[in-house]
Structure 1
Amino acid sequence: MNDKQPLGAFIEDGQRYRLTSPTELPNADAFLWNAAMMIQATCRGYATAQFMQPGPAKYAHGPTLAAKTFMQPEHPYFAHHAGRFFYVKDHHTNTLWSAPYEPTRMPLDEFRFEPGLNDLRWVLRKDDLEVTLVLSLADDHPVECWRVSVTNHSTHARQIGLTPYFPVGYASWMNQSGDYDTKLNAVIARCVTPYQKLEDYPKQKHFKDLTFFAADKKPQSWSARLQAFEGEGGLHNPDALQTGTLDNQAAIYECPACIMNFEATLKAGATEQWTFLFGPAEHETEIAERLAELLPEGKIEQPLEQQRQQLKDTLSNTCIDSPDTNLNAVLNHWLPRQLMYHGQSQRLTTDPQTRNYLQDAMGMAYLDANQTRTALTTALQQQQSSGQMPDGILLEGATELTYINRIPHTDHGIWVILCLQAYLNESGDAGLLNKMLPFADGSEASIAEHVDRSLDWLLADRNEQGLSYIQQGDWCDPMNMVGPNGIGVSGWLTQALAVALNQWAELCRQTGRQTQADAYTTAYNEQSTIINLHLWDGDWFIRGITDERRRFGTKDDDEGQIFLNTQAWALMAGVASSDRQPRLIASVQERLQTPHGPMLCAPAFTRMHEDIGRVTQKFPGTGENGSVYNHAALFWSAGLFAAGENERAWQVIRDLWAFDDDERFLRRGQLPIYVPNYFRGAWHQFPETAGRSSRLFNTGTVAWAYRLFVENLLGLTGTLNGVRVTPFLPKDWPVFSAKRTFRGAHIELTVKRDGSLTADTLRCNDEIVDGFELNDLQAGQTYRLDYRVSG
């Protein structure tokens, strides 16, 4: 390996990342998506892909029939895991190796895994042969587009064999096969999605049960037989590649694979190129259509260029230039890219959980407020006239709620207000509140009244003390045994209701609904009293009270003594008194803080607690059981910002990425191009695994991280009439600048520290601005802001 290069670094102005070893971070990965699919591929070639029909499905599987489930954290890989592999055989030396790295695991002279914003690229070199792989996706179809080149860097001609091996795996016990179609020049694997109920047949009749692998050149030989290809040599040295030619045999009710062999003679300095397409289809006609669209020379570049332009247009909305170039790359490119994935794909489900749907939409307000408006109106039309929000939102093609959305939770109404606040901050579209929308059970009301009813339902769904019922979960889905009997309450939801009441009261006041503003302000004040009276435990707020009326999240507990969320939301709600606020912050620092961020709870549970639920059965330090759950960590950051603890809040955000700490980088095992839903916690109990990434990029963290970036770091918070400018300058930065397009106006912001000042100042186009607010911004105009930080 070339050890002169750093193990990992951003390249191409931060729009691509380079990893130079397949073994130091063996599970390092990246993902691509389009309107129809998503693929997550590792640096070594393993891949997991899903497409929508209308729900999520797979077209490449492992060799055993897998249970259908949602995306899992810390996904394990193994030799026969689905992947995209290319065997390279040097006939002169009889050497066999594979790109990107699996399955042969042969040492390479050079390895570069270079995921970009719109494609994944590998550059590999061995014995003067260079192989470049580039994966991109079709624009709106579930098709992988592969461009492969082999270059001879030696001084003499080389005869090589290239054998793409794309396993399809065990997709069906009912019907599976594979064969080569000469007209389409494609290996096509076939199956019938298994079913037993008669009523399932019409639902599956038009499924894409074919998986095709097509090439732009005719292969010398092919095979669809996985087991015969592998033989006794194993995937690291397949029998079929020892004989010099593939068997040209179909798979007949056996695990199929898409395998082709291409032979080429390369002169010194010459390059040979191939294009391959891989994906699902309903029938051969659909395959022919995809081939006609994408295989001819130059066609594969068209959707890629469209995707590049769309991403560029969206990401250019906001950018920062700070002393931290790695952070610039993340905030300008990778974080908003991950946010776009959430907003556009709905996490590849047709019934997103209401909480997730609205928080993803909240984040999208800062990239495309129109998408947030659509999401809000979609969600509110599925609200009951009582004000209760559903557990999931049915999107186009969905007919029923699935998975966690069948479990009753009580918090979904909270997220309506938080999402709406972000939308109004960005758009100033107060007129939306007057828009009439139907309820799911027939009547209709203005959006403002929809929100009123949501809060009224939450206020009614409390016990005699004013604490919010939890039923079978709140934000913490697996906290499912606290309140199934209708007695248990959630300390977090009680606080979150205070946050929502406070925000809505202010919005009502700003929009002329004074009666409602007064009522919800009174409710907020009462809620604050309730929280301090019933939830304070001496140094922090407790998590809740069970059906058996046992308080948990207290000093008396041996496990789960303190929970992060009830401290974070106490700060966000502004309910912690001046003497209690420093005590709860100190408790978090002492009991929850780790080098990787704050843990969700501690000590992590090590045994089942039947009055709390299945969260206590999760392995200590994973998921909601004491991990550094980044979504909750960003709640904590938001709470710290609200409390004026800006440096602490900023450090929580910085801990999401390990740029300049090799030990943390290696421990996490993940590239800093997306934020995972958690890093392993239980730092005191299992320090040897603390910090390991879940590598699961579906997370509400990104919406909160981007909102805090815009409104708290840049300090550009929209109002109904303009924008409030209150940036935060980290202590180790002397200056930063940013550009943002806001309601069509162009803001150019410079933030500097000035030791001669005793108070912060703001100038706009060289004129002093009193009150740090700009009103009546004009679209197309440029506003040059100079913000000076005192001290």
Structure 2
Amino acid sequence: MTWSDFGHFSDDGREFIITRHDTPRPWHNYLVNDEYVANCTQAGTAHVFWQPRGEGLRANMLEDKDGSGGPRFVYIKDRDSSLHWTVTGAPDFPQMDAWRCRVGLGYQVNESSYQGIDSSWRVFVPQNNDPVELWTITVRNASDRPRQLSVLPYTEMHLTGGSTLMDFIAVVGGHYDPASQAVFGINTCVKFPPRFNAFLASDRAPERVTVSRDEFLGHYRGYDRPRALESDVDNRQAGTEWVGASLAHDITLQPGETFTLHCALGMVENVEEGRALIARYLQGDGVEQAFAQLQETTTAACDRLQVRTNDPQFDRWANVWLKHQLAFVARWGRVIGRGFRDILQDTFGHRLTDPAKSRACILEVFSKQFASGRCIRAWRLPNAQLDLQDYADSPSWMIMALAFYLKETGDFPLLDEQVSFLNSDDPYAPAQESASVWEHVVLAQRYLLADRGRHGLVRIRYGDWCDTMNGVGKGGEGESVMLSQQVAWGCQLLAELAQRLGHDAIAREMEQGREDLAQAINEQAWDGRWFVRAFDDEGIAVGSDTPPPQDNGEGRIFMNAQSWAVISGVADPERCDSAIEHAIKHCDTGYGMVLNWPAFTALRPRIGQMTAMSPGFYENASVYVHGNCFWVYALAASGRGNLAWKYLKDILPDSDNKPNTDTEPFVIPNYYIGPNVERRKQRNLFLSGWRTGSAAWFYMTVIEQIMGAEADYDGLRIVPRLPDGWTDVSITRPFRGDTYEIHYSGSGQVQSITLDGKPLDGNVVPVVGDGGTHHVEVQLA
């Protein structure tokens, strides 16, 4: 079965409509603002937490142990027959007359028809950063007789997030608050900050309430037949027991009549804050106003930059879903923390959709550098710790993010802003030194150039982009070819910027650094048909066609070293052709490129943890989508438009080349399992949807390398690499306050460009700067 057996995109492409509840695994939809996250499944279950500004202990409203979501449901009971069910059908999923789940941009709507009752449950998180989600439940009598019903929204409140050093249940309880028509769950542990409190409220007074999970469910029962649905339990206090909050509303509906209930679910520091939030949203039309604001925000994001081609799949991803995923990662990174390289690469994409967010992220990340030039791996983990492991690639992404941002915005005053360094004596202590953004990025590049090994290549230390290649440099002498290629490109970008700023000495320094690295890469890392990936502490190559005996013929070629040879420009055309040809020969699966071939089948200590992973998983010969985005960028940037489009389509989750896939069709995943895994024949399993750096590279490649509207310091450089058959293509491109309507006619190379009817010399559209809309006609032949 393929993804289309379980649903389809709406006509406007802005919803994915799941039409079967039994997706291959739970499909997730992140509903977020900057502080609150509700990660919902199509069954309505969820992982919910509050983490103010991403810092400190994370307060879990509802835990998710296995990806199935924590328990929360909207129950409906026919009081005449005593039959009951839920809006989503979960957990037992009876055969319903109609069922669907509409996955929207920041919201989710479950709809069903059963026993002559139509019902829906809309969930969203308001965008003003209140730690709350809003539910709208509608119940319609579609039968021809009056119906006596009960409607019960239910959620558990786990209130976890740290160690209590005691039985957790000893500090958890709750009560019903008549003043706000809400159940409050309370965690009294003195080791926790006060925000470990939650509420569930409705906009009408309930007839019955439960606060205790055990009172709601009863013993020896599941969520399919809770005691409260059979015997009208009314329990308004809970102490030292798990909180299970429900609000029972008894209603009578005539034929065709509809009942609507608004609910608020959130986390607060105290009851008074909860009452204020409840009043804000549940009095008047607060819920609908918040939903209108959400829709206004997402519509503006979708409309900001639009492409129009003859391929609906391409347009849908470029105009809707990549932007939505980028907005999520801009806010929450990888959820478990904010990675140095991760956040900088995310700016590659959202500089195009939200330049102000990109600017803020650059300043945030640059502050995680030491005055020596070294940078940390990650921060903002749930326990607020810094990840100080010496991943050598972190500084290399700084110039890329900065150059891309400056080319997009022309915001050169950013270079003079002062940014602190981490305290070298104690990184948790207040900063004692600072420097300008410009000084930070020069320092980073010099640090990398100074840390080279016996082959003249940059040392890998604990690892590079591949986190699990952590054995190569364990002794301090291993070198990374991929990182050296990245640093070479960084030198080129920094030299270009330095020349523009009049820093001629730095420009010459970087040009020399690039030349030295390019020479070392070509002399030391060329294996005859492709580039090796690294050299270990003993100077033995990783990713060679002639691996040492202990590697058992495995890991002979690594895709990333070929991609970055092209991106960085260190390889001549003949070597680029050869590297690409052999990467395709050995790594192409038909649904993307594996990171390395053949897969490792046993631990190779000289390489690291990746070799101990199951073949086809994570960095060990999986179709790792982030690495595939490097590959597609390299193909497009080198003028191979047809190949770029082929491999871009291969890795899209809604392409039909992945039978038995279990990934959500509306988000770019982290990876697909490699083809040598027997289990893939049953399920093309993937992991970590949403939380990936792939989206930014994907989007940047689509807009700048395939559509060819590439930001440069002097304007938009027009270099399309359109696949064959795309002969009438356009893009609406915001750029430095103006909007450029770019239309391509014909196919092939750029022959002529006009701006507002006037011919241009060359292929750079200058910045008009009047805030208006301007028309660019590009003739290809």
Tell me if both proteins adopt one fold, taking TM over 0.5 as the criterion.
yes
2:47 — aligned with what?
A: 48
Deviation per residue, 1:547-571 (Å, 9 max, x gap): 2433222232433322221111111
- Please give the secondary structure, in 1, of the residue aligned with 2:338: coil
Deviation per residue, 1:1-37 (Å, 9 max, x gap): xxxx974222252222211111144412211111211
Superposition pairs of residues 181-200 of structure 1, within 5 angstroms: 181-192=177-188
Verify the 8 A CA contact 1:318 1:739 in the aligned structure 2: yes
Q: 1:613 and 1:630 mapped to 2: Cα distance?
A: 21
Verify the 8 A CA contact 1:46 1:82 in the aligned structure 2: yes
2:449 — aligned with what?
A: 459
Q: 1:230 and 1:378 mapped to 2: Cα distance?
A: 46
2:33 — aligned with what?
A: 34
Unaligned runs of 5+ in 2: 161-167, 424-431
The worse-fitting range, judged by mean Cα deviation, of 220-229 and 473-482 is 220-229
Superposition pairs of residues 275-674 of structure 1, within 5 angstroms: 275-348=262-335, 352-392=338-378, 401-402=385-386, 405-435=387-417, 437-440=419-422, 442=432, 445-555=435-545, 556=547, 557=551, 558-659=553-654, 661=656, 664=658, 667-674=660-667
- Please give the secondary structure, in 2, of the residue aligned with 1:316: helix
The worse-fitting range, judged by mean Cα deviation, of 668-677 and 443-452 is 443-452
Verify the 8 A CA contact 2:406 2:412 in the aligned structure 1: yes
Question: Could you tell me which of 218, 229, 250 is aligned with 2:216?
Answer: 229
**Which amino acid is 1:559 matched to?**
E
Matched, 1:96 2:87: no
Matched, 1:155 2:144: yes
Q: CA deviation at 1:668?
A: 2.8
2:779 — aligned with what?
A: 788
Unaligned runs of 5+ in 1: 67-74, 196-200
Q: CA deviation at 1:444?
A: 5.0
Matched, 1:215 2:202: yes
**Which amino acid is 2:344 matched to?**
L
Verify the 8 A CA contact 2:24 2:662 in the aligned structure 1: yes
- Please give the secondary structure, in 2, of the residue aligned with 1:300: helix
Question: Could you tell me which of 732, 757, 760 is aligned with 1:766?
Answer: 757
Alpha-carbon distance change, 740 to 251 in structure 1, aligned in 2, over 3 angstroms: same
Question: Could you tell me which of 685, 688, 691 is aligned with 2:681?
Answer: 688
Q: 1:509 and 1:668 mapped to 2: Cα distance?
A: 49
Matched, 1:703 2:696: yes
1:71 — aligned with what?
A: none
The worse-fitting range, judged by mean Cα deviation, of 256-265 and 525-534 is 256-265
Matched, 1:128 2:119: no
Question: Could you tell me which of 719, 733, 740 is aligned with 1:726?
Answer: 719
**Which amino acid is 2:523 matched to?**
L
Q: CA deviation at 1:417?
A: 0.7
Q: 1:690 and 1:490 mapped to 2: Cα distance?
A: 34
Q: CA deviation at 1:233?
A: 6.2
The worse-fitting range, judged by mean Cα deviation, of 371-380 and 523-532 is 371-380
- Please give the secondary structure, in 1, of the residue aligned with 2:44: coil
Deviation per residue, 1:78-126 (Å, 9 max, x gap): xxx5132112222344432222131132121111111211311111111
- Please give the secondary structure, in 2, of the residue aligned with 1:770: coil
Alpha-carbon distance change, 615 to 376 in structure 1, aligned in 2, over 3 angstroms: same
**Which amino acid is 1:401 matched to?**
Q
Verify the 8 A CA contact 2:84 2:229 in the aligned structure 1: no
**Which amino acid is 1:50 matched to?**
F
1:17 — aligned with what?
A: 16
Q: CA deviation at 1:432?
A: 3.6
**Normalising to structure 1: TM-score of the pair?**
0.90
Q: 1:752 and 1:579 mapped to 2: Cα distance?
A: 31
- Please give the secondary structure, in 2, of the residue aligned with 1:265: strand
Alpha-carbon distance change, 258 to 27 in structure 1, aligned in 2, over 3 angstroms: same
**Which amino acid is 1:158 matched to?**
R
2:60 — aligned with what?
A: 59
Q: CA deviation at 1:382?
A: 4.1
Alpha-carbon distance change, 342 to 659 in structure 1, aligned in 2, over 3 angstroms: closer
Q: 1:242 and 1:317 mapped to 2: Cα distance?
A: 48
Percent identity (aligned): 27
Matched, 1:110 2:92: no
Q: 1:444 and 1:170 mapped to 2: Cα distance?
A: 39
The worse-fitting range, judged by mean Cα deviation, of 150-159 and 20-29 is 20-29
Question: Could you tell me which of 248, 265, 274 is aligned with 1:261?
Answer: 248
Verify the 8 A CA contact 1:98 1:106 in the aligned structure 2: no
Verify the 8 A CA contact 1:428 1:719 in the aligned structure 2: no
Q: 2:653 and 2:393 mapped to 1: Cα distance?
A: 33
Verify the 8 A CA contact 1:82 1:169 in the aligned structure 2: no
Deviation per residue, 1:681-713 (Å, 9 max, x gap): 244665415743324311111111121122112
Verify the 8 A CA contact 1:56 1:348 in the aligned structure 2: no
Verify the 8 A CA contact 1:118 1:304 in the aligned structure 2: no
**Which amino acid is 1:485 matched to?**
G
1:677 — aligned with what?
A: 670
Verify the 8 A CA contact 2:48 2:63 in the aligned structure 1: no
The worse-fitting range, judged by mean Cα deviation, of 231-240 and 622-631 is 231-240
Q: 2:188 and 2:460 mapped to 1: Cα distance?
A: 42
**Which amino acid is 1:49 matched to?**
V
Q: 1:184 and 1:444 mapped to 2: Cα distance?
A: 49
**Which amino acid is 1:151 matched to?**
R
Verify the 8 A CA contact 2:215 2:235 in the aligned structure 1: no
Alpha-carbon distance change, 714 to 258 in structure 1, aligned in 2, over 3 angstroms: same
Matched, 1:779 2:770: yes
Alpha-carbon distance change, 445 to 85 in structure 1, aligned in 2, over 3 angstroms: closer
Verify the 8 A CA contact 2:60 2:159 in the aligned structure 1: no
Verify the 8 A CA contact 1:180 1:224 in the aligned structure 2: yes
Q: 2:738 and 2:477 mapped to 1: Cα distance?
A: 52
**Normalising to structure 2: TM-score of the pair?**
0.91
Q: CA deviation at 1:297?
A: 3.2
Verify the 8 A CA contact 1:14 1:326 in the aligned structure 2: no
- Please give the secondary structure, in 1, of the residue aligned with 2:233: coil
Alpha-carbon distance change, 237 to 780 in structure 1, aligned in 2, over 3 angstroms: closer
Q: 1:107 and 1:232 mapped to 2: Cα distance?
A: 27
Report how many residues are paired. 755
Q: CA deviation at 1:672?
A: 2.8
Verify the 8 A CA contact 1:29 1:40 in the aligned structure 2: yes
- Please give the secondary structure, in 1, of the residue aligned with 2:577: helix
- Please give the secondary structure, in 2, of the residue aligned with 1:541: coil
Alpha-carbon distance change, 712 to 52 in structure 1, aligned in 2, over 3 angstroms: same
Alpha-carbon distance change, 440 to 240 in structure 1, aligned in 2, over 3 angstroms: closer
**Which amino acid is 1:574 matched to?**
G
